[in-house]
Amino acid sequence: MDIFSKCGEDERVQLARAADAMPYYRAITSGQDPVVMLDGQEVVMLGSNNYLGLTSHPEVKEAAAEALARYGTGCAGSRLLNGTLDIHVDLEERLARFTQREAALTFSTGFQVNLGVLSCLLGRGDVAILDALDHASIIDGCRLGFGRSYKFRHNDMGDLEKKLEFARDHAMLIVVDGVFSMEGDVAPLPRIAELKRRFGARLMVDDAHGLGVFGEHGRGTPEHFGCEAGVDLVMGTFSKSLAAVGGFVAGPRDVIDYVRLHARAEIFSAAPPPASIGAARKALEIVEREPERRKQLWENTEYMKRELCALGFDTGDSASPVIPIVVGDDMKAYHTVMRLQEEGVFANPVVSPAVPEGRAMLRTSYMATHTRAHLDHALEALEKVGREVGLI
């Protein structure tokens, strides 16, 4: 048998090619703005995680350019050895203060944060208890550790309690997304923190899509729910609100120092490049000083949620700037996305196994920098295509 044989026989790839509906790896020829260039056409971007619109902010770009000019294009080594720059340390100190934690540690990507933290914390005899819809990086990080993992039904606190009761003789770490990246709903953190205390577990929140978006000061879903003290570790990324690439974990100093010296995804990876650190550092500053961006983002989010529901779309339980439109069939999701592109709108298809089979969806997401004209154009296209394909 040829190990490559499955590649040419993959049913999903064959069907998508036959239908001329491959809505992945579409090459954008402009920045991640509210309107982007795609195949020579202007399209309204409803598929970006650039929630606060900072990837094109002049100060953020200038900070990246300054770091590039001073430090060069890369660090030429891992953080553990020669790759730690003073701006890495400065950003970590700022992130710790921002999240109100003792210490923070940066990684080269958000995926690597979960991979590194979970794999090194979960030893033999330890148990991770995960929401069934947790991000793939959480699942993979737990798989790499030596502990066991149990999943509870999505946002089902009764099922979480059962899993905690079952594993209560072990050291337990509950890991949940603050905002679930496909469905756009949020974890009930106060109830999770209460159960965590009752069973003597620890709690880690992946707040990749909550940081900068939720909370009066943008500290994310723990701040939003008023339960920051009940969350032991907070994970965040730079690739959403912080306008760069990379990620971090923040928490007790002893834990961060342990991760610093044991997380293979950190100590065997090249350090985050200077331009990304410079950009993230400036973006964090803007998050703190310009709460009006968050206010505008939520105005746009609430407008779209209201209008999409009024048109008859199924948007699930979204409570964030990620608003799904449930389609059902995987191929219908592909077809709908390509039709929307023809109508001048960029959206993302989400199909099984990222979501349960039969619950394929369009993932739409919104920015503070979308104007009402952008959103109304998107609504017109969504209504037209939605009626064509039988979604409304």
Q: Taking the domains of the chain in order of start, what are their residue ranges?
A: 11-45+291-389, 58-289
What does the alpha-carbon distance between residue 80 and residue 99 come to, in Å, rounded to a whole number? 24
- Please tell me the distance from the alpha carbon of residue 220 to that of residue 186, in angstroms, as a whole number: 11
- Let me know if 240 is a catalytic residue: yes
Judge whether 162 counts as a catalytic residue.
no
C-alpha R_g of the chain? 21
Per-residue pLDDT of the chain in tens (392 residues, 90 and over written 9): 899 988 888 777 777 676 666 788 999 999 999 999 999 999 999 999 999 999 999 999 999 999 999 999 999 999 999 999 999 999 999 999 999 999 999 999 999 999 999 999 999 999 999 999 999 999 999 999 999 999 999 999 999 999 999 999 999 999 999 999 999 999 999 999 999 999 999 999 999 999 999 999 999 999 999 999 999 999 999 999 999 999 999 999 999 999 999 999 999 999 999 999 999 999 999 999 999 999 999 999 999 999 999 999 999 999 999 999 999 999 999 999 999 999 999 999 999 888 888 999 999 999 999 999 999 999 999 999 999 999 99
The pTM is what?
Answer: 0.96
Into which CATH architecture does domain 58-289 fall?
3-Layer(aba) Sandwich (3.40)
Closest to 343 (Cα-Cα) out of 46, 122, 135: 46
Considering the candidates 240, 332, 335, 370, report the single residue annotated as catalytic. 240
**Residue burial 34-50, b: 16+ Cβ < 10 Å; e: rest:** bbbebeeeebbbbbbbb
Of 108, 119, 181, 365, catalytic: 181
**Number of other residues whose CB lies within 10 A of the CB of residue 190:** 13
Is residue 315 within 8 A of residue 309, CB to CB? The reply is yes
Residue range 11-45+291-389, CATH number: 3.90.1150.10
- Give me the catalytic one of 61, 135, 209, 282: 209
What's the rounded Cα separation, in Å, for the pair 332 and 330? 5
Tracing tokens 């199924």 back to the chain, one arrives at 314
Distance in angstroms (rounded) separating the CA atoms of residues 341 and 333: 12
